[in-house]
Amino acid sequence: MPAPGVSPVASAAAAPAPVPTQNVLATMLRVSPQVSDLIFSPGRPPQVELNSQLVPVKVEGLPMLGPADTVRIATDLIGTNKQAFDTLRSQGSCDISYSLPRLARFRVNIFTQRGSCAIVMRVIPTHVPNLATFNLPPQLADIAKLKNGIVLVTGPTGSGKSSTLAAIVDLINQEQAIHIVTIEDPIEFLHQHKKATIHQRELHSDTPSFALALRAALRQAPKVILVGEMRDKETIEIALEAAETGHLVFSTLHTTDASKTVERIIGVFPLNEQHVIRTRFAKAFRYIVSQRLIPKKGGGRIAAVEILIGTLRTREYVERGESEGKSLLDAMRDGVLDGMQCFDLVIEKMIRDNQLEIDTGLGYSTNPGNLRLQISDLLEDVAQESPGSEAKPKKGGGTELEITRL
């Protein structure tokens, strides 16, 4: 209520108008071209994620977010998408895409927490990337030459899986006059028709589920099918069927490396079906590409990429299961000439090229103990340079360095 003697019109005029959501987003994007996420949480100022760190952003007229602010921003982002409102109300979260004209596109997740609303917006570049954009291994270009089978790109959230797939699809788009169908949640990179014809379908607005859209795609005469994520048993089964009937299928999984990807695929099925699925997947898979984004020395992040390729040896290990001396990791270490590589060898090279701090590389490696042995010469150099290292008597005479820092 207005104060005594103050008219309601004057009171309303005195209340500051809310800052337009598009202005807030534009201000946050201006912090840096390297902003990866925008985060809105009650009780905090607007924040951006920059080089894996959250940074508060000063927005004129919005020093601190309240529950009403996040609800208003969420409502603006959802707009007229009734399906998203219903999903948010019934399931507590929803995924949408949002476009800021001439500036950026976003993959948005809106969710409820502690009775209020919070928002995370992933920035999607306006231009489709190529393999060189993220300094990805050049041998990934060979994927665009495949005619059938399954290619999986895996890694934790925010590791660049969608960007890698977009770069490969764009390469096919430039070189082949074929039909491509993508099924995404939501659509991220917008592909233009080039040599290929591309149809992009979005979950909820164009189709109710990945499985239904994937089954329908088999009747749409595509040569390449991209499925945003292998979420369930039915989707995996249809993807295998598509690969076996001459389609090239791309998809993603939230797994940490190639070996765990295989086990995740097989583990979705009941025990009595797993042997058959192992055999089918062993014949169908062509590449498993796993990614980790690692903080780079001097700032920024760099992609470490593990590549497993379907060969006679790797298919045998997938079909029969791994054992001592017969693991997918062993095959990748031995398969450098075939284009394969494993995380620890890639990270070792990055450390030796002075791209990563030693501690950072060890922290992101698959087997820190083995990597430590591989870079023991560097550790000795660090120990000699460190004032905290000292020589101690060595058995049989001489001295050895005691590394106190690492």
pLDDT in tens, the chain (406 residues): 444 444 444 444 455 678 999 999 999 999 998 899 999 999 999 999 988 889 999 999 999 999 999 999 999 999 998 989 999 999 999 999 899 888 888 999 999 999 999 999 999 877 888 998 888 999 999 999 999 999 999 999 889 999 999 999 999 999 999 999 999 988 889 999 999 999 999 988 899 999 999 999 999 999 999 999 998 999 999 999 999 999 999 999 999 999 999 999 999 999 999 999 999 999 999 999 999 999 999 888 899 999 999 999 999 999 999 998 899 999 999 999 999 999 999 999 999 999 999 999 999 999 999 999 999 999 887 777 766 544 444 444 444 433 333 3
What number of CA atoms fall less than 13 Å from residue 216's CA on the CB side? 14
The CA dihedral of 221, 225, 229, 233, to the nearest 10 degrees, is: 50
pLDDT in tens, 107-133: 999 999 999 999 999 998 778 889 988
How confident is the model at residue 393, as a pLDDT? Answer: 45
Domains (range + CATH), the chain: 15-124 (3.30.450.90), 138-341 (3.40.50.300)
| Contact call for residues 149 and 249 (beta carbons, < 8 A) | yes
Residue 108 to residue 55: CA distance in whole angstroms: 19
Q: 10 Å Cβ neighbour count for 63? A: 10
Those residues with Cβ within 8 angstroms of residue 273's Cβ, 6 or more apart along the chain or in another chain: none
Distances (CA, A) of 324 to 58, 310, 369: 55, 20, 18
pLDDT for residue 75: 96
Helix (H), strand (E) at residue 371 = helix 368-374
124: helix, strand or coil: strand
